[in-house]
Amino acid sequence: MARGKLQFDIIGDATKMAGSFLALGAVITVMSSAVRSLADFEQAMAKVAAISRSTEKEFAALRQNALDLGKSTVFTATQVASLEEAFARLGFTAREIINVSKDTLDIAAASGTALGRSAEIVGSTLRAFQLDVSQTQRVVDIMAGAFSTSALNMERFSVSMTPVAPIAAQLGISLTEVTAIMGLLADRGFEASVSGTAFRNILLLSAQAGITYQEALTKITDSTGATATALDLFGRRGAAVASTLAGLTDEIEDQIIALDDMSDEAARQAEIMQDTLIGDWLKFTSALDGAIQKGTGLVGVLRDITQGMTDAVTGTNQFTRIVDEKLFKKIPPTGRPFTEEEQEL
């Protein structure tokens, strides 16, 4: 009887302790997530501080920019920090980074591209075409328009622009025009690297001949042997692209007009892409992350919780000692009856 009661009490205590362990595990999970979020953000901002060489005031503004956008968009503060790092690597000032952030978030959300990578591409495009940061919305609208009306996407855009953008800018050819041409070539199966390199060579060889690339394309169109003329003008590496573009002069003009007419296109697409269950969930998790980052007293709270968990583990050790003493030391071997002292337990 006494033995059964002893075992029942121990089992009851063990059940209560198991429940405590489950609650403790849940607390640890939440704490781990919070600590990781805080640590990741602080580490990301440390990179921003090191690369941007910002003053204390400028860094505070960058940090607040990341926090504000992190709690109000689908992106976390840490992801916004990766945007700031990317722009800082391209030489953008703290003020410029803050001014380009929202538009870059829009094109990242619209295209489904990582925020840091989107910042690299937007920033390099601005720099390559020698555009002021005030033109960022126009740039992302052109990009979003091209991505939705041609086979271009973020990576194809980047790959095709890398070789041709600086030369095009020097020759006074706009981002809209180059983007329209890259999109039309992508629609016809040309790889992005081929399109960009070939069009760069077309621009250079046309300039060397003292004519514009449009005049060169007209020569191809007006000739009796288009392919032979393209070969004469641009060689084997540029002939295929040149002869293709010569037959697309009307389409090029139409696409330039269409892209120039794009207004708030990146923001419009971003809103549509985020108006989903996944978008709602990302906004929720981002807002939650923002609340974690904003809590100025959170470190003290985490310390209190950690100390409480330490006390719980200490209590577990004490419970284990009691179980060992009562269950294994106080219960007699099988076959031997309880003594009167044992029955009184």
Locate the domains of the chain by residue range.
25-149+266-310, 153-263
Q: 194: burial class by Cβ within 10 Å (0-12, 13-18, 19+)?
A: middle
Task: Provide the H-helix boundaries in the chain.
Answer: 2-52, 56-72, 77-89, 94-111, 115-128, 136-149, 154-170, 175-187, 192-208, 213-222, 226-246, 249-260, 265-274, 277-294, 298-323, 340-343
To 10 degrees, the CA torsion angle through 224, 227, 232, 235?
Answer: 170
* Contact criterion met (CB below 8 Å) for 342 and 2: yes
* Contact criterion met (CB below 8 Å) for 163 and 197: yes
Instruction: List the chain residues with pLDDT less than 50.
Output: 30-31, 296
To 10 degrees, the CA torsion angle through 215, 217, 220, 221?
Answer: -100
What is the Cα–Cα distance from 96 to 112, expressed in whole angstroms? 24
What is the Cα–Cα distance from 94 to 48, expressed in whole angstroms? 10
CA-CA-CA-CA torsion sign (70, 72, 73, 74): positive
What is the Cα–Cα distance from 282 to 55, expressed in whole angstroms? 32
What is the Cα–Cα distance from 105 to 86, expressed in whole angstroms? 13
Predicted local confidence at residue 241, as pLDDT? 96
**What is the pTM assigned to this prediction?**
0.75
Predicted local confidence at residue 290, as pLDDT? 59
What is the Cα–Cα distance from 101 to 112, expressed in whole angstroms? 16
Predicted local confidence at residue 71, as pLDDT? 83
CA distances from 123 to 87, 89, 97 (A): 6, 10, 9
What is the Cα–Cα distance from 174 to 256, expressed in whole angstroms? 10
- 315 is written with which tokens? 């209590």
What is the Cα–Cα distance from 45 to 5, expressed in whole angstroms? 60
Alpha carbon 162 to chain centroid, angstroms: 21
Q: What angle do CA 186, 129, 162 make, to 5 degrees?
A: 45
CB proximity list for 37: less than 8 A, separation 6 or greater: 76, 78, 289, 292, 293
